[in-house]
């Protein structure tokens, strides 16, 4: 009965709430006087203004150490890797000559990749550079040499693998073309191997074994160290001219076009898994790193059915 007599009514609860929100006797709002609220608001204004100032100062100091055009750290990748196109998740090029639906996606990928390399586009955006020398464009003191010019890489230089003379890139006849590109590393200067070329990095693709190499048949490279035919005979190799190096970054060199090497395979053994490895040949490109299978090289599988 005592508990029942102490139960407050809804009106009493509302009156207590109103008095909490504003007490006319003590002139308190939510339990605090105007001076108390002023002090606490002032404290938090000063506190958060201090934090904001510290954050802004830290950002300012950090931004002074960052170059707008060149990453501060890029030593994670010291030796460029290679990749092939068409791109597949498993690095396998598998299709049937008789079924164009099996190779049409590869052709579509190559078309999309090579559109920016069309001669008309390159002539508008790129510069004609002297072959066989680095495209060095150093700054002059505090004067930024930006934007830096980018050398033309013409689609037509890919010959039979340009898609201009054969829109199927050889896939319809069982002589497929693959494009090889090298990862871009800012300020990377490749060292040529004079016995192979004095003006270019060279690229060669071989079977993973001597027997596998024979099953791959003959190969043609574009551009090639033997421009007359480019056919692989032990002396001819694909080439990436020194004029495409160094790369200065996307912001400093907006129209930069990565050099490509195309390799066309002839007389492949059909209905057989063929394992291929392509390597970049340069003094300062490591192709024997057991920890990184893409360092200076790329391995993939070809399987072409009739």
Which residue, 296, 279, 297, 249, is CA-closest to 78? 296
What is the C-alpha separation between 194 and 199, in angstroms, rounded? 8
Q: Percent of the chain beyond pLDDT 70?
A: 92
Per-residue burial over 19-34, b = 16 or more CB atoms within 10 Å of its CB, e = otherwise: eeeeeeeeebeeeeee
Q: What is the pLDDT of residue 74?
A: 64
pLDDT in tens, 57-100: 999 998 888 877 777 776 666 789 899 999 988 899 999 998 88
pLDDT in tens, 94-131: 999 988 899 999 999 999 999 999 999 999 999 999 99
Which residue, 119, 116, 160, is CA-closest to 254? 116
Which residue blocks in the chain are alpha helix, DSSP H? 2-5, 10-21, 34-64, 100-114, 119-125, 210-215
**Strand arrangement of the beta sheet that strand 274-281 belongs to:** 92-96, 297-305, 274-281, 200-207, 238-241
Kindly state the average pLDDT of the residues 275-282.
Answer: 94
Which residue, 66, 130, 74, is CA-closest to 248? 74
pTM of the model: 0.77
Token pair for 75: 């030593």
Residues 6+ apart with CB under 8 A from 162: 114, 155, 156, 222, 262
Per-residue burial over 60-74, b = 16 or more CB atoms within 10 Å of its CB, e = otherwise: eeeeeeeeebeeeee
Bigger pLDDT: 3 or 249?
249
Looking at the structure, give the CATH architecture of the domain made up of residues 82-305: Sandwich (2.60)
Kindly state the average pLDDT of the residues 155-181.
Answer: 95
What is the C-alpha separation between 306 and 300, in angstroms, rounded? 20
Q: What is the pLDDT of residue 63?
A: 85
Q: What is the pLDDT of residue 5?
A: 54
């Amino acid at each position: 009965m005592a508990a029942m007599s102490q139960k407050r009514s809804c009106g009493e609860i509302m009156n207590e709430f109103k008095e909490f929100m504003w007490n006319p006797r003590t002139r308190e709002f939510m339990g605090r006087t105007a001076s108390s609220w002023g002090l606490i608001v002032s404290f938090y204004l000063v506190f958060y203004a201090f934090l904001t100032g510290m954050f802004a100062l830290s950002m300012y100091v950090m931004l002074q150490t960052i170059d707008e055009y060149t990453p501060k750290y890029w030593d994670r990748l010291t030796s460029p890797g290679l990749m092939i196109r068409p791109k597949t998740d498993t690095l396998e090029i598998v299709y049937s000559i008789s079924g164009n639906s099996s190779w049409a996606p590869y052709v579509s990928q190559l078309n999309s990749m090579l559109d920016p390399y069309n001669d008309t586009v390159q002539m508008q955006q790129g510069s004609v550079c002297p072959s066989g020398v680095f495209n060095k464009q150093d700054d002059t003191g505090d004067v930024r040499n930006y934007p830096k010019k980018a050398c033309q890489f013409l689609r037509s230089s890919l010959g039979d693998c340009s898609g201009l003379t054969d829109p199927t890139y050889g896939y319809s006849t069982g002589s497929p073309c693959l494009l090889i590109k090298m990862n871009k590393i800012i300020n990377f200067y490749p060292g040529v191997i004079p016995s192979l070329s004095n003006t270019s990095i060279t690229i060669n693709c071989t079977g993973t074994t001597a027997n596998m190499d024979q099953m791959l048949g003959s190969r043609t490279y574009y551009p090639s160290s033997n421009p007359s035919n480019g056919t692989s005979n032990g002396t001819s190799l694909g080439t990436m001219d020194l004029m495409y190096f160094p790369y200065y970054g996307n912001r400093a060199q907006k129209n930069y076009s990565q050099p490509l090497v195309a390799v066309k395979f002839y007389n492949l053994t059909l209905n057989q898994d063929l394992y291929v490895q392509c390597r970049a040949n340069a003094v300062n490109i490591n192709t024997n790193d057991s920890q990184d299978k893409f360092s200076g090289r790329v391995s993939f599988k070809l399987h072409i059915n009739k």
